[in-house]
């Protein structure tokens, strides 16, 4: 019975390894550098938006607590 359990696991790991090999052969270092450059370019936009969103949530929470206490 254990032969039936081990065989699919081996096949799954072999297919995962072959899929990784295919992806590694397609993706180049230049492609990864382009992705990294785009992520770095988005940081100056994303960080202030996240900080503003957190501040807005805290402000709304503060107003709700003040109104609830009144």
pTM over 0.85: no
Domain that holds residue 54: 2-69
Give the chain's domain count.
Answer: 1
What is the C-alpha to C-alpha distance for residues 70 and 62, in angstroms, rounded to an integer?
12
Tokens 């960080």 correspond to 47
- pLDDT (average), residues 21-48: 91
User: pLDDT-derived band of residue 20, with 50, 70 and 90 as boundaries?
Assistant: low
């Amino acid at each position: 019975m254990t032969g039936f359990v081990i065989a699919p696991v081996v096949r799954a790991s072999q297919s995962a390894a072959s899929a990784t090999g295919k992806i590694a052969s397609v993706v180049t270092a230049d492609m990864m550098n382009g992705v990294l450059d785009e992520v770095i370019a988005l940081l100056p936009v994303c960080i202030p938006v996240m900080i503003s969103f957190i501040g807005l949530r805290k402000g709304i929470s503060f107003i709700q607590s003040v109104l609830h206490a009144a």
